[in-house]
């Protein structure tokens, strides 16, 4: 059973599930596409959150064309999110990515 972590409150019982619970998750998604200027890819959290978390995503490579792109999370829910990769310099035209790692983090608000 997934139990969300929480700040300690007076009167709370200590349970194994509560001690093992996490308010934070992170991962890496490998992105590949051909001749595009924007791309989306859905991802699922390893363990669902009780409510949609606060998210961050970063392109883990800086070589080649990745420097002309940015990534952000959209459609964040308690069970997953969508990575949105977009070209920031339209004058350069579309590009191709092959297995570019995108790191993400998700945490419950405090």
pLDDT at 90: 74
Tabulate helix, strand, coil % of the chain (nearest 5): 10, 50, 40
H-only helix segments in 2-107:
16-20
CA atoms within 13 A on the CB side of 19: 4
Cα distance between residue 39 and residue 47, in whole Å: 25
pLDDT at 28: 96
pLDDT at 106: 95
- Residues above pLDDT 70, as percent of the chain: 86
Comparing 23 with 70, the larger pLDDT belongs to 70
Cα distance between residue 79 and residue 2, in whole Å: 12
Partners of residue 95 on adjacent β-strands = 36
pLDDT at 11: 76
- Considering the entire predicted model, what is its pTM? 0.78
Task: Output the six-digit token pair for 20.
Answer: 């093992």
pLDDT at 33: 96
3-class DSSP state of 64: helix
Domains annotated on the chain, with CATH: 36-107 (2.60.40.2080)
CA-CA distances (angstroms) from residue 109 to 51, 56, 98, 106?
10, 13, 34, 10
**Residue 29 pLDDT greater than 60, yes or no:** yes
3-class DSSP state of 46: coil
């Amino acid at each position: 059973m997934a139990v969300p972590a929480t700040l300690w409150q007076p009167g709370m019982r200590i349970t194994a599930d509560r001690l093992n619970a996490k308010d934070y998750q992170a991962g890496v998604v490998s992105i590949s596409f051909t001749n595009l200027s924007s791309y989306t890819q859905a991802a699922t959290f390893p363990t669902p959150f009780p409510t949609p978390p606060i998210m961050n995503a970063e392109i883990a490579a800086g070589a080649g064309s990745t420097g002309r792109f940015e990534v952000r999370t959209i459609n964040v829910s308690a069970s997953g999110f969508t990575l949105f990769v977009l070209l920031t310099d339209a004058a350069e035209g579309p590009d191709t990515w092959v297995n570019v790692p995108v790191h993400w983090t998700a945490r419950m608000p405090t």
